[in-house]
Amino acid sequence: MGSDKLFQKKKIRTEKELARREAKKAPHETILIVCEDSKSSPKYFNEVIRHFRLNTANVIIVPGKGSAPISVVDHAIELAKTKPFTDRVVCVFDRDNHESYERAIKRLKNHKPEPNDKSAPIYQAIISTPCFEIWLLLHFCYTTKSYVASRNKSAAENLINDLIKELPSYSKNNTTWFKDIIDKLNTAIKHAKQLQKHNSKTGSTNPETNMHELMELLKNLKNFHIE
């Protein structure tokens, strides 16, 4: 009972916040970013928004309901149906070992807004393999190293071990490390594009990320001087 009440309170606060931001929407593209219900990526995007001084009425970060890709996509589609503010919906999730990954990608690709939906946005999937931290590692080095489970560690844990060698301040629970990577953003974009070309030629999907596409989108908004 207690957890149900807490969930409802969080849901009400989220809906009120979305309504408030809708009312003060600036005259530029509005992006809804729906992340896995995890700590690292939502905190990172909020730091990016603050760093670029983007209008929070135009770039809205919402945690998904759970970490499964299909949960992120379902939540994003439901939000877009009822909110008339959205030009683009970006679903951010990891491939990892999620069994719903392919279903989530297929649903995004095939989804068509219904006539009574208040929003008909562009949908985009931003994915990382094995997890979001590959994007952070690319700030420091270019790599095509595959990450898999070994002994008592998951693929994600093995990746995070490599990341901490480059970024000792990294922790999922805070973003004090953000200041250590933001000046390396262009390097990360370059490396992610290089990795994308490599994967296209080789058919590899591990590691993988298209996070640079979202970063370039946000940088483009920055150029409009949204404040």
pLDDT tens digits, 87-135: 899 999 998 777 899 999 999 999 988 887 777 889 999 999 999 999 9
**pTM for this entry:** 0.83
Say if 93 falls within a structural domain: yes
Say if 54 falls within a structural domain: yes
Identity of the amino acid at 30: T
User: Please, which pLDDT band fits residue 226 given cuts at 50, 70 and 90?
Assistant: very low
The maximal CA–CA distance of the chain, rounded, in angstroms, is 52
Per-range mean pLDDT, top range of 29-38, 169-178, 217-226: 169-178
Q: Which range marks the domain in which residue 93 is found?
A: 2-222
CA pair distance 10, 103, nearest whole angstrom: 27
- What is the per-residue pLDDT across 152-189, written as a single tens digit (0 to 9) for each? 999 999 999 999 999 999 998 888 999 999 999 999 99
**Between β-strands 122-129 and 208-209, what pairing exists: parallel, antiparallel or unpaired?**
antiparallel
Say if 227 falls within a structural domain: no
Number of separate domains in the chain: 1
Say if 114 falls within a structural domain: yes
pLDDT at 127: 96
